[in-house]
Amino acid sequence: MVQQTLEVVKATELKEKPDPATLKFGRQFSDHMFMMDYSAVDGWHQPRVVPYQPLELDPSAMVFHYGQSVFEGLKAYRSADGNILLFRPEENFRRLNESCDRLCIPQVNEEAMLEYLKELVKLDKDWVPSEVGTSLYIRPFIISTEPTLDVSPARAYTLMIILSPVGSFYKGGIDPVGIFVEDEYTRSAPGGTGYAKTAGNYSGAYKAQERASTHGKAQVLWLDGVEKKYIEEVGSMNVFFKINGEIHTPALSGSILDGITRKSVIELLESNGMNVRQRQISMDELIAANEAGSLQEVFGTGTAAVISPVGRLEYKGQDYVINGSEMGETARWLHETLVGIQTGEQEDPFGWTIVLET
Amino acid sequence: MVQQTLEVVKATELKEKPDPATLKFGRQFSDHMFMMDYSAVDGWHQPRVVPYQPLELDPSAMVFHYGQSVFEGLKAYRSADGNILLFRPEENFRRLNESCDRLCIPQVNEEAMLEYLKELVKLDKDWVPSEVGTSLYIRPFIISTEPTLDVSPARAYTLMIILSPVGSFYKGGIDPVGIFVEDEYTRSAPGGTGYAKTAGNYSGAYKAQERASTHGKAQVLWLDGVEKKYIEEVGSMNVFFKINGEIHTPALSGSILDGITRKSVIELLESNGMNVRQRQISMDELIAANEAGSLQEVFGTGTAAVISPVGRLEYKGQDYVINGSEMGETARWLHETLVGIQTGEQEDPFGWTIVLET
C-alpha cells in the first residue's frame, strides 16, 4: 500500500471556537475532518481533508445493523511554547489495525495514516486549546458502509478522523472515584472482541454502568467472563494495583484493551527501576490485601483521564476504602510525569511525543 | 405511550421491481420506509412513512462509535389467493424491547409499532413477491443518533423499518449444510449481550465465520463462552437435535437468541404430541450419540431459512456425518408445516398469522 496524495478542501467559513472553560468531552468539533474510502476494487483510496459535515448513508448501511466499526482515541496537546504535540500516535494506528483484523475490516497503511493525521491537525491547529488540562481529542474511526442486510464482512468502508477540543478531566483537582465490582454483567470473554476497540464493546457495557451509578459509583470494575473472579478493567480504562510497594496489573488476556497509557505506565515505572507484574489478579486476593493493609493504591489508566485514582470499591454488597480514599504517591507521580511528557513540560526520554511543525 | 398519528409522505416516483428470479437477500429496498425519532423531551415521536432515502448523520453520531443499535427481522408472505400475511410480528416487537432494555435504549409501544408496520407494508404491498419461496423481508432497527463522543446511553435515537424483497433461501432444493464447531472464538458469555439482537453480536462473529469457510463449512456452531463445551447456536440460527426420537434444543441461557422460529418449532412439535427438551447439551454428548447411531437429525431454525438441516459437522479436526447427510423427516415436516402456515397454504390453528387488509 503506497501513501496516496492527500486532497484538501478547506472550509469557506470557520466556526467560532468554544470557551475553553466550559468544554465538555466530545461535543464540539473542529472545522475539518479526514475521510478515506475502501472498496474491493480500489482498496483504501481517496484520502481527503474536507469541511466537517454530515455523512449520508443508506438506511441499509451495514454498520447500523451488524456493527462492523472500530475506533481509536488520542490527543494533541499544546505546549507552553505554543507547539503542538502528539503522544505515541503510531501506537493508535497499530492498534486500529489489530481491531480491524478482529472485525474483518481491511487494514490501513499506518505510516500514511500518521501523515494524514498530522496534516489534519496542522490545518485545524487553532482548535488545540492551551489552557491547563485541555487538549484536542482525536477520533479516528472506520465504519462499514455497504448497503446490504447480508450478514458478512462488508465490501465498502469509510475511515474518518474528527477532532474535538476537550476540557480538563479534573476540573476541581483529582478526586479518587468509587468503583462497583460487577459480578453479573460481562464485558468480554476469551475468544470475544474484548481487546478490540469496536463499537459493540462499549454499548454492551452501559447496563453495568447504570447499575454502578445506582450504587453511587462512578465506574464499573469488570471481572473475567468465565469465572467472575479475576480483574479485567475499570470502565474503559486499564487498572493497576500497588501492593506492598510493588505494582500489579492484569495481563493482556485477549479480553482487555491493550491500552497505550497502560503500556506507557509500565515502561515509565520499569525505566525508574520499579517492577510491574502483569498477571491474573483475583478479587479475593485484592480484598485480602486491602484488609491486611498491604493494598496501597488502585488507579485506572486511559487517554481521557491519564491516571484515575480509585478511592473506594464495592464488592458483593460491601464497601472497601483504598488508601483512605486519597490519591497515592505512585498515581500522582505517574500523572505528573505522563502529563508533563505529553504537554512538553518534562523531558521525553522515550521519544513518545511528536512535535507538529506548524 | 399513546399511539400517535402516522404521517405518510408518498414517493412521487416508484422504483422498478426487481426480477423475482434473481433476488438476493437484503440488496434491494422498497419505495417507502418508516421512521420515528426519540428525544429526551418528546420520547418517541413523529412516526412517519417517507420515500426510501439516505440518512444524514453527524460523524460523531454515537451509533458509529459505541454501537447502541438493535434490530429485528421478519417476513411478509404472499398467499396463493393474493393476500399478504405477517408471521407473529408482535413477537418481534416484544423481542425488540428486550434488546432495547439490554442496550439501554428507550422501549417502544409494541401495539403502535405493529400498526405502523402494517401501514408501511400495505403501502408497499406490490413489493411482496408471489413466487414460491419469495417474501418481503422486514427490518425494523433503532440507532443512537446523538452527536457526541461521550461514552454513555444516547439521548437521541431513530427507529426505522425498511423492506426488502427476498428470493427463496433454497433455490436448488434443501441441501443439508456443513457446520464447523468453533472452540476458539466466542459469540457471547453469560452476562453479555448474546440474547439481544444488537449489531455488535454479528460483526463479532465474522472472524469465526471466515474460519468455518476455510474449513469448507457453511456455518459456525457456537459453544458456550465459559467452558467451550455446551452447544449454543448455529451461525445466527437456533439449533435442534433429534436423538432417539426425541427433540432437544439448548435452553435459553441469556447468551443465545430467543428465536421466534425456535419458539414456533417447539410449540408445533408439542402440539403434535412430541416432547421438546430445552436443556444444556454438550458436544461430547452429541458426538457420542452420533457414534452410537442415535443422533438422527440436526437442524437450525431462523427467519431466513425457516429450517436448515445440518448434514456434517467438524469438531476438533474430525468430520462427522449426520443422518447420511440427508434432511430428516422431522426437519422436513417442520419446514413444510411452518412454510405452509406462513404462506397460508395450511391452516393456522395457532393464530400465528395476521392477514393484512389491502
> What's the ipTM?
0.97
- Quote the mean pLDDT of chain A: 96
**Could you tell me if residue A306 is left (phi over 0), alpha (psi between -120 and 50 degrees) or otherwise beta?**
left
A-B contacts (CB, under 8 Å): 221
Task: Return the pLDDT at A295.
Answer: 98
Task: Return the pLDDT at B171.
Answer: 75
Q: Which has the closest alpha carbon to B261: B352, B164, B197?
A: B352
Shortest CA distance from A54: residue in chain B: B58
Is residue B317 within 8 Å of residue B217, measured between CB atoms?
Answer: no
pLDDT higher than threshold 60 for residue B30: yes
Q: How confident is residue B135, by pLDDT bands cut at 50, 70 and 90?
A: very high
Centroid of chain to Cα B87 = 12
Does A102 contact B at CB distance below 8 Å? Answer: yes
Least confident of A125-129, A173-177, A225-229, A255-259: A173-177
Shortest CA distance from A101: residue in chain B: B207
**Could you tell me if residue A344 is left (phi over 0), alpha (psi between -120 and 50 degrees) or otherwise beta?**
left
Express each pLDDT in B218-274 by its tens digit.
999 999 999 999 999 998 899 999 999 999 999 998 999 999 999 999 999 999 999
For β-strands B32-39 and B7-8, DSSP reports them as unpaired
Mean per-residue pLDDT, B29-44 = 98
Classified as helix, coil or strand, B102 is helix
pLDDT higher than threshold 90 for residue B92: yes
Contact (CB<8Å) B26/A149? yes
Centroid of chain to Cα A288 = 31
C-alpha cell of A148? 446490504
Does B272 contact A at CB distance below 8 Å? Answer: no
Express each pLDDT in B280-292 by its tens digit.
999 999 999 999 9
pLDDT higher than threshold 70 for residue A2: no
Task: Return the pLDDT at A171.
Answer: 75
- Quote the mean pLDDT of chain B: 96
Shortest CA distance from B200: residue in chain A: A200
Domains of chain B, first to last = 7-166 (3.30.470.10), 177-342 (3.20.10.10)
Distance, CA of B314 to CA of B20 (rounded, Å): 35
Q: Which of residues 114-133 of B touch A (CB under 8 A)?
A: none
Task: Return the pLDDT at A3.
Answer: 64
Task: Return the pLDDT at A83.
Answer: 96
Q: What share of chain B in percent tops pLDDT 70?
A: 99
Task: Return the pLDDT at A121.
Answer: 98
Distance, CA of B96 to CA of B90 (rounded, Å): 10
In the chain, the amino acid numbered A311 is G
Beta-carbon contacts of residue A140 (< 8 Å; ≥ 6 apart): A34, A71, A72, A92, A93, A96, A113, A117, A159, A160, A161
Name which residue leads in pLDDT, A253 or B44: B44
Partners of B199 on chain A (C-beta within 8 Å) are 63-67, 199-200
| Overall size of chain B counted in residues | 358
Task: Return the pLDDT at A187.
Answer: 96
Does A201 contact B at CB distance below 8 Å? Answer: yes
Partners of A228 on chain B (C-beta within 8 Å) are 191
pLDDT higher than threshold 70 for residue B298: yes
Alpha carbon of A334: minimum distance to chain B alpha carbons (Å): 25
Task: Return the pLDDT at A10.
Answer: 98
Shortest CA distance from B66: residue in chain A: A199
Q: How confident is residue A52, by pLDDT bands cut at 50, 70 and 90?
A: very high
Distance, CA of A110 to CA of A91 (rounded, Å): 9
Q: Where would I find the beta strands (DSSP E) of chain A?
A: 7-8, 32-39, 43-51, 55-57, 69-71, 74-78, 84-87, 135-144, 156-166, 177-182, 219-223, 231-234, 238-243, 246-250, 276-279, 295-302, 306-315, 318-321, 353-356
Q: How confident is residue A131, by pLDDT bands cut at 50, 70 and 90?
A: very high
Express each pLDDT in A97-107 by its tens digit.
999 999 999 99
Q: What share of chain A in percent tops pLDDT 90?
A: 94
Shortest CA distance from A147: residue in chain B: B27
pLDDT higher than threshold 60 for residue A44: yes
C-alpha cell of A67? 456493527
Please state, in angstroms and as integers, the Cα–Cα distance from residue A143 to each residue in A7, A53, B278, following that order.
Answer: 21, 16, 38
Mean per-residue pLDDT, B157-166 = 98
Express each pLDDT in A189-208 by its tens digit.
999 999 999 999 999 999 99
Contact (CB<8Å) A59/B102? no
For β-strands A43-51 and B318-321, DSSP reports them as unpaired
Contact (CB<8Å) A66/B203? yes
CA torsion, ordered A278, A279, A285, A289, to nearest 10 deg: -20
What's the start-to-end Cα distance of chain A, in Å?
27
Does B191 contact A at CB distance below 8 Å? Answer: yes
Does B143 contact A at CB distance below 8 Å? Answer: yes
Mean per-residue pLDDT, A337-349 = 97
Distance, CA of A169 to CA of B353 (rounded, Å): 55
Q: Which of residues 1-20 of B touch A (CB under 8 A)?
A: none
Distance, CA of B91 to CA of A109 (rounded, Å): 46
The residue with cell 498491604 is A294
Please state, in angstroms and as integers, the Cα–Cα distance from residue A267 to each residue in A247, A349, B316, following that order.
Answer: 12, 11, 40
Report CA torsion sign: B100, B101, B103, B107.
positive
Task: Return the pLDDT at A289.
Answer: 98
What backbone phi and psi angles, to 5 degrees, belong to B64?
A: -65, -30
Give the one of B148, B162, B203 whose C-beta lies nearest to A27's C-beta. B148
Mean per-residue pLDDT, A139-155 = 97
Q: How confident is residue B43, by pLDDT bands cut at 50, 70 and 90?
A: very high
